[in-house]
Amino acid sequence: MLKGNVALITGGSRGIGAAIAKKYAALGADIAIVYAGNAQAAEEVCRACEALGVQARAYRCNVADFEECKRAVAAVKGDFGTVDILVNNAGIAKDGMLAMMSKDAFDQVVDTNLKGAFHMIRHCAPLFIRARKGCIVNISSVSGLMGNAGQCNYAASKAGLIGLTKAVARELAPRNIRCNAIAPGFIQTDMTAALSDAPLVQAIPLGTMGAPEDVADAAAYLAMAKYVTGEVLRVDGGLAM
């Protein structure tokens, strides 16, 4: 159902990004993975996608760097011809209480999570505009909807991503380019490995943490939902309702 599309997924070497890459590959999209440092993990995801019958390549790029993003998008265009779907999934957390938080911890999280998405959208937009179609999926968080003590940097970056999503959706809708966000709750990945269970899980109405594949299912829906734009889709077991 995504056959003939090229999907660029940032942070695609593990966790939620890897699950989205494999889901999109299973639906027939060719896959371009942007990864920060672990080339071997990125290559393994590419091989798994190829086993599903599509083309896949990995590109090393720090999404916090505007020029690196420009080069990565140009490289993907060179290899695949274009980008049809952009998933801004790369993200980091550097949690700490406000009174103790360093300027660096705030800057790094905003630079990666929020500005990283802007960089990739900025460089993919000309391709979308030329093709008169495009789809952007930004991975936000329930932290961006509800706030979370100890995460003022992360919550600000993820709330900013929702504003970015809606502004881009309005600006590019006349050009047939859609932009949506997903707000995952607690999903079992490396990022949340330290959290595991107890009080957090008890607060989730459905009673368990989610799997990366649950977010990938939502990303697949948004890639295909041609009348949906500017939406924030929670995938959180009911946590933020």
Task: Catalogue the active-site residues.
Answer: 154
Is residue 165 a contact partner of residue 177, using CB atoms and an 8 Å limit? no
Rank residues 5 and 10 by Cβ distance to ligand NAI and give the closer one. 10
Q: Does 144 bind ligand NAI (CB under 6 A)?
A: no
Nearest approach, Cβ of 228 to ligand NAI (angstroms)? 20
Is residue 54 a contact partner of residue 30, using CB atoms and an 8 Å limit? yes
Q: How many residues does the chain have?
A: 241
Nearest approach, Cβ of 161 to ligand NAI (angstroms)? 9
Distances, alpha carbon 110 to alpha carbons 41, 121, 153, 193, 236, in Å: 25, 16, 7, 22, 22
Nearest approach, Cβ of 4 to ligand NAI (angstroms)? 26
18 to 37: interface string for ligand NAI, x by CB under 6 A: ----------------xxx-
Which part of the chain contacts ligand NAI (CB under 6 A), choosing from 99-107, 165-173, 185-193, 220-228? 185-193
Q: Does 52 bind ligand NAI (CB under 6 A)?
A: no
Q: Does 40 bind ligand NAI (CB under 6 A)?
A: no
Q: How far apart are CA 200 and CA 197, in angstroms?
A: 6
Burial class of residue 109 (count of CB atoms within 10 Å of its CB; 0-12, 13-18, 19+): buried
186 to 215: interface string for ligand NAI, x by CB under 6 A: xx-xxxx-----------------------
Tokens representing residue 45 in the block: 């995801």
Distances, alpha carbon 70 to alpha carbons 117, 119, 225, in Å: 12, 8, 28
Which part of the chain contacts ligand NAI (CB under 6 A), choosing from 10-18, 50-58, 168-176, 198-206? 10-18
Please give the residues from 83 up to 142 whose contact with ligand NAI meets the rule CB under 6 A. Answer: 89-92, 112, 139, 141
Write out the residues near ligand NAI by the rule CB under 6 A: 10-11, 13-17, 34-36, 62-64, 89-92, 112, 139, 141, 184, 186-187, 189-192
